Amino acid sequence: MSQFSPSLSQSSSVPGRLYVVATPIGNLEDWSPRACLVLRRANRIVAEDTRHTRKLLAHFDIHVPLVSCHANNEAQRVPVLIACLARGETLALVTDAGTPLVSDPGQRLVDAAHRSGIPVSPIPGPTAVVTALSVAGFPGSRFHFEGFLPPRGGHRRDRLEALAHLPGILVFYEAPSRMLRLLQDLSDLLGPDREALLARELTKIHETLLRDSLGALGQRLKAAVESIRGEMVLVVAGQDPADAPARAGSPTLERTLAVLLELLPPAQAAARAAALFGLSRSLVYRRALELGAHLPTAQPECSDPDR
C-alpha cells in the first residue's frame, strides 16, 4: 500500500475510532466473533505485514483495504492514519499474531490516537505471554513480562542483573536459535534448580510444554538440538518464598551486601549473600565489587577510633 496517502487537511468534527484487535497465535478457531465483526466493519485494517494478514482475512472472508504499519514506516504512517481517524474513519490495528503492542508494533499509532483525542478500543484475544502463564502452574500472581532480551553485550547483562532482583514469575519471548543461551544465562543468574516452563508452538498442532528446572531444560534441549524449532515462550517460577528474604520489609540484596562487605572480603560477602537470596555467586560477586568500589574502606577490627 505505498500509494496510501489521503489528504491530511480533510478533518471532520466527529472522529472515528481506533480498534486494537488481537489475532490468533496459531489456532484460527481461537479468534472471537467480535474481532471478526470489527475487522469486517472497519474502513481500513492497519497491519504489521499485509501479506500475512491477507491470508487471515481470506480465511474469514473479510474484504477491507489494508494499510501496512510496521517498525520501518510507522513514523511516516502515523500522521496519515490519524488524519483518517480525525475525519471519521474506523481503523482496526492488527499484527501478525497475538496482541498488538505486546512485543509488536503499533505503540506510536495508539499513543498518537490518545493524544489526538481519538477514541481507542481494545478487542482482546490471544497473547502468548498469558497463554503460557495460564499453563505454567507456578505459585504467585505477580509476573514480569520481559519479552525479548537484548541478544548480547552490556544491555543484556544489565537486564539480566535487574531481573535477578525481581521476586515474581518471569516471562520471556525468545527465538529458537537463542533459547539454549537464554536457559544458560538464567541458570547462571537464578541457579540451575529454578523451575521453568518452556512452551512451544502454543495452540498449534505441535504444541509442547516442557516443565523442569532451568538446568534440566538446558540439558534436554542440548540433547535434541535439531528439534529446537517453532515459537517459544519461557516462563520462570518466582523464587521460592522460603528462600526469599527480599520481600516487603526485608533487606534488599544491596543492603545485605553493604553490611557483609563491612565485615568480609568481597568473595565471602558475595557467597553468603548469594546463599541468602538464592542467586548465582558470580552475579552477586560482580555486584559486590561494584558496591565495594563505592563503600568507605573498612577499619581494621582492632583499630581504636579515639587514638
Element (H, E) at 20: strand 17-21
Number of H helices and E strands in the chain, helices first, is 11, 10
Q: Are 46 and 110 in contact (CB under 8 A)?
A: no
201 is a site residue for ligand SAM (CB under 6 A) = yes
32 is a site residue for ligand SAM (CB under 6 A) = no
User: Residue from 189, 231, 256, 266 that binds ligand SAM (CB under 6 A)?
Assistant: 231
Closer residue to ligand SAM (CB): 178 or 220: 178
Closer residue to ligand SAM (CB): 175 or 267: 175
173 is a site residue for ligand SAM (CB under 6 A) = yes
Closer residue to ligand SAM (CB): 93 or 233: 233
127 is a site residue for ligand SAM (CB under 6 A) = yes
User: Residue from 32, 73, 103, 184 that binds ligand SAM (CB under 6 A)?
Assistant: 103
User: Cell for 214?
Assistant: 532451568
Contact region for ligand SAM (CB under 6 A) — 161-169, 202-210, 214-222, 248-256? 202-210
Distances (CA, A) of 151 to 82, 179, 218, 223: 34, 11, 18, 23
Other C-beta atoms closer than 10 Å to the C-beta of 37 total 12
In 3D space, the residue among 280, 278, 281 whose CA is nearest the CA of residue 267 turns out to be 281
User: Residue from 15, 16, 98, 266 that binds ligand SAM (CB under 6 A)?
Assistant: 98
26 is a site residue for ligand SAM (CB under 6 A) = yes
What is the spatial distance between Cα 17 and Cα 19, in angstroms, rounded to a whole number? 6
182 is a site residue for ligand SAM (CB under 6 A) = no
Other C-beta atoms closer than 10 Å to the C-beta of 209 total 15
Residue number, nearest CB to ligand SAM: 98
Residue tagged 490471544 (cell numbers)? 126
97 is a site residue for ligand SAM (CB under 6 A) = yes
Amino acid at 266: P
> Footprint of ligand SAM on this chain (CB under 6 A)?
25-26, 95, 97-99, 102-104, 127-129, 173-175, 199, 201-204, 231-233
